[in-house]
Amino acid sequence: MPGFELFGDKEKKQVQEVLDSGVLMRYGFDGMRNGHWKARELEATLSQKMQVKHTHLVSSGTAALTVALASAGVGAGDEVIMPAFTFVASFESILALGAVPILVDVDDTLTLDPKAVEAAISEKTRVVMPVHMCGSMANLDALHAICTKHDLLLLEDACQAIGATYKGKPLGSIGDLGCFSFDYVKTITCGEGGAVITNNKTYYENAHKYSDHGHDHIGNDRGAEQHPFLGYNFRISELNAAVGLAQIERLDEFISIQKRNYTILREALSQIPKVVFRSIPDGGEENYSFLNFFLPTEKLAQRAHKSLGANGIDGCFYWFDNNWHYYRKWEHLIEPKSLGKLPQDVLDALPDYSKMDFSASDHWVGRNISCLIKLSWIENEIRERANKMVKAINQVI
């Protein structure tokens, strides 16, 4: 990742067809399109790739999470369980609907700890949202069993994990709903974009209506369409969908390249006795977009991360101190801060995260280094990088 590294003639051709038609909007203007419906084509391709009945494209991964939750009727006062290690979009999408994000610990998969999930369930819990961070997955069997036991929805945030599988099934297709992001730094990019996938027809019908101002999309006259409920504008454009249509056809190619590059780096780091790799649930296969490993202590991880940078190794992240991805720097949630007044029900229901104990997550995230796997690397470059990484880490341990 990211897919923009390998932009080429296929992407240019798809975009040019949209420009030639002059229709950049996914709905309407049927007579001008010259038969081109890029969003529809990408939705059909994604449904086939992800082995689901329904796909709806939206404007971003954040929009996908918001629309997915709304499509299942999640709203004011409902609680959604999510991990303390994710991207801020996870709790933003929940709060946007007046629901309440309930943060819980991650384990050595760097995703939701099923035991922590079980302990966090209350009478207000509606959804468990595992986030398949950095290209790998949560223990979906355990989470599915918990959701079945408590009659909860399982919503997979697979925004960073397209192409990964669990027991032969694509991530995102296993829960009641799944979400992808196609922003500029994802394995498959539309520039900006996202998708909701599901096998539930009701959720799909709600999703495509909700994301387009409540339009029911019945008939060929957009101005005559009905509005069965309130909606908003989370539409993707034909230009963005066109880029994604070219990219999705290259998904298998991209995953293969990432796996090759990941494997070379992992084999090299395996020579360091104190390096331990993230746990992958049995039956799971990553999409190889990141190589995640642990060092024995938080202090050693910090020193190793600095050493990697000092030795010219870019693209290695220490999420423990990251503003976007770990609860420790989410002051805007913890305080909480917003431009307008949040609903009182949300303020009353939000846990006091300044007093919450996430030491179990700190144990894993504080010792983790996460290295981006690029598509554009050539083999000699990767092997040189691997040698430099080994040297840089050995310098501090």
303/376 Cα distance (integer angstroms): 28
* Whether residue 336 has a cis bond before it, omega within 30° of 0: yes
170/303 Cα distance (integer angstroms): 36
Q: How far is CA 138 from CA 109, 165, 200, 201, 220, in A?
A: 7, 11, 22, 25, 42
Residue 69 phi/psi, 5-degree rounding, is -60, -45
Q: How many CB atoms lie within 10 A of CB 214?
A: 16
Q: How far is CA 29 from CA 8, 10, 32, 117, 219, in A?
A: 28, 25, 6, 47, 13
Residues in Cβ contact with 54 at an 8 Å cutoff, skipping those fewer than 6 apart: 47, 197, 198, 199, 200, 201, 203, 204
The count of C-alpha atoms lying within 13 angstroms of the C-alpha of 332, restricted to the half-sphere facing its C-beta, is 12
Token pair 């801020």 in the structure block, residue: 88
CA-CA-CA-CA torsion sign (220, 222, 227, 231): positive
Q: How many CB atoms lie within 10 A of CB 108?
A: 17
Which residues form the catalytic set? 186
49/64 Cα distance (integer angstroms): 18
Q: Which residues of 173-183 are buried (b: 16+ CB within 10 A; e: fewer)?
A: bbbbbbbbbbb
What single DSSP character describes residue 397? -
